[in-house]
Amino acid sequence: MKFFVDTADVNEIRELGATGLVDGVTTNPSLIMKAGRDIKEVTAEICGLVDGPVSAEVTATDYDGMMREAAVLSEIADNICIKVPLTFDGLKACRALTDGGRAVNVTLCFSANQALLAAKAGATFISPFVGRLDDIGLEGMELISEIRTIYDNYGFATEILAASLRTVGHVKQAALIGADVATVPPAVLRALFKHPLTDKGLDAFLADWAKTGQSIG
Ligand code: G3P
């Protein structure tokens, strides 16, 4: 499973990237707003921090506008992945962009049928939003499972990028189902490292080590 970080905070990306665990980055207009920086400037900086795909989202809602914005975003770096919404125009843009050799992430997916259309439109990634389905009382993870089955039924190459993941439990479930990618906020990625028994065990080892009076190196 690949890990992407879902943020436009370059300090977080730099720190987490140093672990070697970050395979890419996803951004969206809300995350750019949160970063408080110019989209082209911050996206260029992010692209320089990771080798993998960096999703940058168009904000136009019509096909021509999306294609215009995609051309501008594509100029930023070679590892830009154009993010388009799962709409009629968005999927039309997805097909045109992937036919032109661009990587495309189709976002705001909330149903298996939408994911099927995105795969048929040649999407590189489909982003089903788990947490937002949970928010309205549905079982978001069921969507990941349904998409996995459908894509495997037909051998679609589109990668399932589980998004709107809010907890470490979400990450585990997505991995068990076989999502190709989990995009997670920095805090969730950090939380994946943690276990109380790791902390307790380390404290005990260090206390015993101190009693030996030894040092290594
Ligand atoms: O990757 C999509 C993500 O940014 C949405 O997450 O928590 O705002 O639903 P959330």
In the chain (217 residues long), the average pLDDT of successive 10-residue segments reads 98 98 98 98 98 98 98 98 98 98 98 98 98 98 98 98 98 98 98 98 98 96
pLDDT at 167: 98
Q: Which atom of ligand 1 is nearest to the CA of 30?
A: 4
- Look at the block and give the residue holding tokens 């900086």: 45
Amino acid letter, 131: G
CATH code of the domain occupying 2-212: 3.20.20.70
**How far does residue 28's CA lie from ligand 1's centre (Å)?**
9
**How far does residue 197's CA lie from ligand 1's centre (Å)?**
30
pLDDT at 72: 98
CA atoms within a 13 Å half-sphere pointing along the CA-CB vector of 110: 10
**How far does residue 164's CA lie from ligand 1's centre (Å)?**
4
- Active-site hit among 2, 34, 40, 83: 83
Could you confirm whether 83 is annotated as catalytic?
yes
pLDDT at 162: 98
